[in-house]
Amino acid sequence: MTKKYQNFINGKWSDAKSGKTFENRNPANWDEVVGTFPKSSIEEVNEAVAAARAAFEKWRLVPAPKRGDILKKVGDIMVARKEEIGQLMTREMGKVLVETRGDVQEGIDTAYYAASEGRRLFGHTVPSELPNKFNMAMRVPIGVAGVITPWNFPMAIPTWKIFPALLCGNSVVFKPASDTPATATVLVEILAEAGVPEGVINIVHGGGGEVGMTIVNHPDVDLISFTGGTDVGIKISETAAKTLKRVSLELGGKNAVIIMDDADLDLALEGVLWGAFGTTGQRCTATSRVILHEKVYDKFMSMLVDRTKKLKLGDGLKPNSQVGPCVNEGQRNSVHTYTEIGLKEGARLLCGGEFATGGDLDKGWFYKPTIFDNVTPNMRLAQEEIFGPILSVLKIRSLEEAITVLNGTIYGLSSSIYTKNVNDAFVAIRDIKAGITYINAPTIGAEAHMPFGGVKQTGNGHREGGWTVYDFFTEWKTVYIDYSGGLQRAQIDN
């Protein structure tokens, strides 16, 4: 029997009023239906927003340390269910089990960080310019948060948004990607079990156009946190501007690794393989370009191609699989389009470039890990986010040239340099235009307690993760307390 999942609105599990559903299939085996989900519409969004609005008025009065205690419990339940959630996530979006476990762990880390933030949420006390007057600025909750999340990190990314939103005293209407609704539903189940009151967390399943954009448009939603493609991010930004919502956008990337001539090539090789083909290249932080010094070019390329060809594709639940499928048919086709574009542009295909088939692979959306070299900075292959297992290699002659090439896209999320030269490393830290720079490590591997986000068209200046996300989910309230007993005029009586 196929498992039937539901929406969670105002503390109750429910179907879409229309009775419509959609199904979610395993990308490693499209015969397997993971579950069916309500195909919701405006009606369900309106209900969820109304519930969240009403619940907010009570939730904002719950002391932050108490809200934190609930999130601590959320983390504990996630620890107990980690393996089960990892397996479900692999079945619904394909990445290999070690990675889905890591995804859940990132959610657990985020829960415990949020729990402890309940006892901080620091404000400022500031001297007044007048005598017998006390000034402070404190954080206050904002209201209803619309949370719209992608499928590549079905647990981690929702928790990056939902846990801080709740800790700060906001209520949430959550629209997960329709490729990963099961993991999202489990997260909501856990929040409810841990004691998040009814109406404070709501999940509405369905399409981005109907459900997602209705949330973005809704006058009673105060803020939107979105992770996904740049084109959708721009649309969200435009739409949300009409009601002046606060919007946090985490969008595309075209992340690069610079490998200098003094780099430890064995180390760089492991980093590039993991960064480019981990999660089948379907990360915002995935390594999409290698910017390789000419002096080590031939040597590194033969190491890289050799190892890439040996990567084992397969169902992520099988212990020896290293690379899972693309998330769905459309995504695999889109990846393949970039192989065709690369060939047309005159780049040289060194391995992959086609669907992976044969045996168990025939029932999944598998694509061979692909490497192009002879890529030049202006090619589409070197400019556009692919979100799949395609890596482009560009040759450079100096650090300066490498950084120019690295910076030469519209994106700026993650970046990396392999070098043993500490001076070069610091120049790279200074001059690379990206939200994240790794030294001697791959472009992936962000930790939950550090700021996460990018510059340029990767986002709109906000950061998730760490202490920084708490700025997004709170407003500053400035308070002046005059205990002089008389009228004191600022700027005039001092």
Which residues sit at the interface with ligand UN1, rule CB under 6 A?
106, 152-153, 283-285, 444-446
Task: Find the shortest distance in angstroms from Cβ 431 to ligand UN1.
Answer: 22
Token digits of residue 441:
């490590």
Task: Find the shortest distance in angstroms from Cβ 253 to ligand UN1.
Answer: 8
Task: Find the shortest distance in angstroms from Cβ 412 to ligand UN1.
Answer: 14
Asked if 272 and 413 count as a contact pair (C-beta separation under 8 A), the reply is no
Nearer to ligand UN1, 158 or 353 (CB): 158
Which residues have a catalytic role annotated?
A: 250, 284
Give the residue among 33, 59, 55, 5 at the shortest CA–CA distance from 189: 5
Angle at 278 (CA atoms; ends 276, 279), nearest 5 degrees: 115
Nearer to ligand UN1, 6 or 458 (CB): 458
Token digits of residue 123:
């404000």
Nearer to ligand UN1, 371 or 444 (CB): 444
Q: Which residue has the tokens 């005598």?
A: 131
Angle at 101 (CA atoms; ends 461, 390), nearest 5 degrees: 60
Nearer to ligand UN1, 284 or 375 (CB): 284
Gap between the Cα atoms of 122 and 137, Å rounded: 9
Contacts of 295 (CB under 8 A, 6+ apart): 261
Task: Find the shortest distance in angstroms from Cβ 106 to ligand UN1.
Answer: 6
Q: Where do the H-state alpha helices sit in 94-153?
A: 97-117
Task: Find the shortest distance in angstroms from Cβ 327 to ligand UN1.
Answer: 13
Spell out a b/e string for 463-481, using b for 16 or more CB atoms within 10 Å of the CB, else e: bbbbbebbbbbbeeeeeee
Give the residue among 137, 142, 141 at the shortest CA–CA distance from 123: 137
Side-chain-side CA neighbours of 66 within 13 Å: the count stands at 10
Nearer to ligand UN1, 15 or 106 (CB): 106
Nearer to ligand UN1, 59 or 151 (CB): 151
Task: Find the shortest distance in angstroms from Cβ 285 to ligand UN1.
Answer: 4
CA dihedral (80, 81, 84, 86) positive or negative: negative
